Structure 1
Amino acid sequence: MALFLLLVLVAVVLGIIGVVAEGLFYLLIIGIVVLVAALAFIGVRWSRRTGRHPIR
């Protein structure tokens, strides 16, 4: 969970810098890619965790 929060924080910071700083639009794109990767990471972990419980 800490890794997910760190990735989201990095994505937000890169996005803000990419929007504010002139000529650094690529940082916004990198921030979006990092955010999508973080969401995919948490989605994989979440789906793997729900499959471990035995059926009663």
Structure 2
Amino acid sequence: MLKWALFFAVIALVAGLFGFTGIAASAAGIAKFLFVLFLVLFIVVVGLALLGIGAIKK
């Protein structure tokens, strides 16, 4: 998921350089959303692992 956030961030930068501001804004918004989603899921998983709930065990 973090890979997709970086991918859309790069698309936003390239589109911005070429003057496609609408596409750049859309790609930047998607990148921000995916990064926040990744960050929230990461914090939840680390929190569960620290509590020893066993959510990561199969």
Give the whole-Å Cα distance in 2 for the aligned partners of 1:30 and 1:42. 18
Shift of 1:36: 0.7
Runs (5+) with no aligned partner, structure 2: 54-58
Amino acid at match of 2:33: V
Q: TM-score under structure 2 normalisation?
A: 0.73
CA RMSD for the aligned pairs?
1.3
Match of 1:52 in 2: 52
Q: TM-score under structure 1 normalisation?
A: 0.75
Give the whole-Å Cα distance in 1 for the aligned partners of 2:29 and 2:5. 9
Shifted more, 19-28 versus 8-17: the winner is 19-28
Tell me which stretches of 4 or more aligned residues in structure 1 moved more than 3 Å: none
Give the whole-Å Cα distance in 1 for the aligned partners of 2:47 and 2:28. 29
Give the whole-Å Cα distance in 2 for the aligned partners of 1:32 and 1:19. 13
Runs (5+) with no aligned partner, structure 1: 1-6
Amino acid at match of 2:5: A
Shift of 1:19: 2.0
Q: Select 2:4's aligned residue among 7, 10, 28.
A: 10
